[in-house]
Amino acid sequence: MTGQMIARRALLRQMSLAGVGAGLVLASRPVLASESGQWSYQGAAGPRNWSHLSPEFAACAGQRQSPIDLAPAGPAQEGQLSLHWPGFAADIVHNGHTVQVTPRSADGSHYLLLGGARFDFRQAHFHHPSEHALADRRWPLEMHAVHQAADGRLAVVGIMFRPGRVNDTLATILAALPPSGATRPAGRAIDLTHCLPLSAASYRYEGSLTTPPCSEIVSWIVLRDPVEAGIGQIGIFAREFPMNARPLQPDTGRRIGVDLF
Ligand SMILES: [Zn+2]
């Protein structure tokens, strides 16, 4: 075990969700993210060339890519999203591209329901600056909480951070931040509910992984309101990952719903 477990608490938040777009393009072999070191955020192996780096990355030149600017949002259709995020013992992984929080055991207690479909929590990771934007404005940090259905489809909750008070969950993650390529156990349970804003208002659209292989299998739920992180905490991410955000992709006429709940 990784130290004392704090009291587990389940969260059930009801949110409406926007209408789902056209049919999802499923990867033949569901992939959360390429562990390959052959891509980067700059230079010849940077985002403009991802689709040429490997046949497996062809989707990076697709028509339903992420991230996008969320400004053209319209009203959402009715639907429900509920998050079930009790605290968990975690490993903190530095994979060279980001820092990732992975549960040490998959006991089935971490999941979300999206329109009645279940997606199990797999991992959460961070981008500096944020990948999604609103009217070209980016935040200093964006967390992606990745959930996967039995058929491989993904539902990712994006949460923005702005400078403010120190965030307890980030503190636990940063205290265990390992060097690149290494993994360390978190010293305390990770409670992702500490990364939720008060409002459940969210943007919804159908898109992709924002890293190779860029699979177009993601239902995005980007929470509208940022939460606070200490400026020193953001600075640690900025030093470790000066730029790990993919440039904005064309929205290609996709429907972006905003639910103001
Ligand atoms: Zn991400």
**pLDDT tens figures, 68-89:** 999 877 776 646 889 999 999 9
Reported as a single tens digit per residue, the pLDDT across 189-212 is: 999 999 999 998 899 999 999 999
183 lies in a domain?
A: yes
204 lies in a domain?
A: yes
75 lies in a domain?
A: yes
Q: In what helix (H) or strand (E) does residue 39 lie, and over which residues does it extend?
A: none
155 lies in a domain?
A: yes
* CATH code (residue 73): 3.10.200.10
- Calculate how far, in angstroms, residue 127's C-alpha sits from the geometric centre of ligand 1: 6
- Calculate how far, in angstroms, residue 210's C-alpha sits from the geometric centre of ligand 1: 6
Name the residue range of residue 201's domain.
43-165+177-259
153 lies in a domain?
A: yes
Give dist(CA 49, CA 66) in Å, integer.
Answer: 15
Task: Please tell me the pTM assigned to this model.
Answer: 0.86
CB 118 within 8 Å of CB 149: yes
- Based on the structure, what is the number of domains in the chain? 1
Distances (CA, A) of 252 to 63, 187, 203, 255: 7, 44, 16, 9
Reported as a single tens digit per residue, the pLDDT across 32-69 is: 666 566 899 999 999 999 999 999 999 999 999 999 99
CB 207 within 8 Å of CB 216: yes
- Calculate how far, in angstroms, residue 138's C-alpha sits from the geometric centre of ligand 1: 14
29 lies in a domain?
A: no
Report pLDDT for 21.
25
Write down the residue that tokens 């985002």 correspond to.
Answer: 47
- Calculate how far, in angstroms, residue 156's C-alpha sits from the geometric centre of ligand 1: 8
16 lies in a domain?
A: no
Query: With 50 as the cut, is the pLDDT of residue 20 above it?
Result: no
Burial class (CB in 10 A: 0-12, 13-18, 19+), 118: middle
- Calculate how far, in angstroms, residue 13's C-alpha sits from the geometric centre of ligand 1: 22
- Calculate how far, in angstroms, residue 12's C-alpha sits from the geometric centre of ligand 1: 23
- Calculate how far, in angstroms, residue 145's C-alpha sits from the geometric centre of ligand 1: 8
Distances (CA, A) of 46 to 237, 245, 261: 20, 11, 38
Give dist(CA 171, CA 194) in Å, integer.
Answer: 11
- Calculate how far, in angstroms, residue 125's C-alpha sits from the geometric centre of ligand 1: 6
89 lies in a domain?
A: yes
- Calculate how far, in angstroms, residue 19's C-alpha sits from the geometric centre of ligand 1: 22
DSSP code of residue 180: T
End-to-end CA distance of the chain: 39
